[in-house]
Each structure stands twice: as C-alpha cells, then as structure tokens.
C-alpha cells in the first residue's frame, strides 16, 4: 500500500509541473503578442482612411471613377496604390494603379485631417446599365482596403 501512495504523489507533482509550464508558455505568448502590437508605430489597423463620396460614370465602353477621400485626425499619413471597380458580388470590373499611371490621387500623400481625390478610368467591352450598384475599392500603401458602394450613372 505504501508504494502506491508514493507513485500517486510523484504523478501529482509531475502534473503540477506540466500545468505550471503550460501556463507560463501561454502567458509568455500572450504578452509577446500584446507587446508586439503596442510597439508598432504605424500599423494597418491605425489607418482609418474613409471614402466620403464617389461617382461612377459609364459611357459606351468606359467607366470613369472619382472617389473623395478623408483621412481623420490621429490616422497616419498614407497614400493610395491601387484602385478597383467591382460588382457588389466581388467580381472585378477593372483595376488601376498609381505605378501604371492609370490611377491619379491628388494630393499623393493624404495627411491626417486631409482630403484627396482619386480618379481612374477603364475601358471595357460593355458597361452595366445606369443604376447598377458597384463597389469602389482602394488600397493604401499599408495594405488597408477602403470600400465604397455607388451606383453607375
């Protein structure tokens, strides 16, 4: 009977050590993740760029997109690198980028409390009828995606 007690005591001590090590690892992982996000000065979650209004005009074979942007106070300066026009189901109609000079943003850098205008056009084989809802999607240099729903006019 005595040997059984000593085995159960050893098992209990080993289980307590394993639980303590697992708790220490979980706390370390939680703290390292928390500290990592606190030290990031300009993260994608801090960019709060907004599209305040937009126009999508369709001609016989072309869409002309104009989006009006606002960067609220406290949000870091940012720039737009890519613009897309999509149907509301996610199907991409066309893409424009600042590197290919098919997307123009004035001014190039949008400062906190600043406004800007993004313009791009794209040629397609046929355009959607007036009143069709479309989404304007703009991407910042930090990778933040900003979306606005408008109707084709």
- Do 83 and 109 lie in a common domain? yes
- Do 60 and 31 lie in a common domain? no
Q: Could you write out the DSSP letters of every residue in 39-54? A: S-SS-GGG---EEEEE
Please give the backbone phi and psi of residue 110, each rounded to the nearest 5 degrees, phi first. -100, 110
Number of domains in the chain: 2
pLDDT score at 92:
92
- Do 70 and 108 lie in a common domain? yes
- Do 7 and 55 lie in a common domain? no
Residue 9: CA count within 13 A, CB half-sphere:
6
- Do 26 and 54 lie in a common domain? no
pLDDT score at 45:
55
Structure tokens at 138: 């703009």
- Do 64 and 137 lie in a common domain? yes
What contacts 97, CB < 8 A, 6 or more positions away? Answer: 81, 82, 83, 103
pLDDT score at 60:
87
pLDDT score at 9:
84
- Do 25 and 84 lie in a common domain? no
- Enumerate the H helices of 39-152 as residue ranges: none
Beta strands in 88-132 (DSSP E): 92-97, 103-106, 109-110, 114-123
Mean pLDDT by 10 residues, the chain (153 residues): 67 93 88 60 70 93 95 92 93 89 91 94 90 94 91 93
Range of the domain at 24: 1-39
**How far is CA 7 from each of CA 13, 21, 50, 78, rounded to the nearest angstrom?**
10, 21, 65, 64
């Amino acid at each position: 009977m005595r040997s059984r007690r000593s085995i159960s005591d050893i098992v209990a001590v080993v289980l307590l050590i394993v639980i303590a090590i697992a708790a220490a690892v979980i706390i370390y992982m939680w703290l390292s993740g928390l500290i990592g996000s606190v030290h990031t000065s300009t993260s994608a979650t801090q960019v709060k760029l907004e599209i305040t209004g937009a126009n999508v005009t369709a001609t016989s074979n072309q869409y002309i997109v104009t989006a009006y942007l606002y960067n609220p106070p406290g949000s870091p300066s940012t720039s737009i690198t890519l613009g897309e026009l999509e149907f509301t189901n996610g199907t991409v109609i066309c893409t424009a980028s600042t590197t290919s000079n098919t997307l123009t943003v004035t001014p190039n850098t949008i400062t906190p409390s600043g406004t800007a205008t993004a313009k791009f056009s794209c040629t397609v084989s046929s355009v959607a009828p007036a009143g069709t809802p479309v989404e304007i999607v703009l991407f910042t240099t930090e990778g933040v995606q900003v979306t606005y729903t408008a109707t084709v006019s």
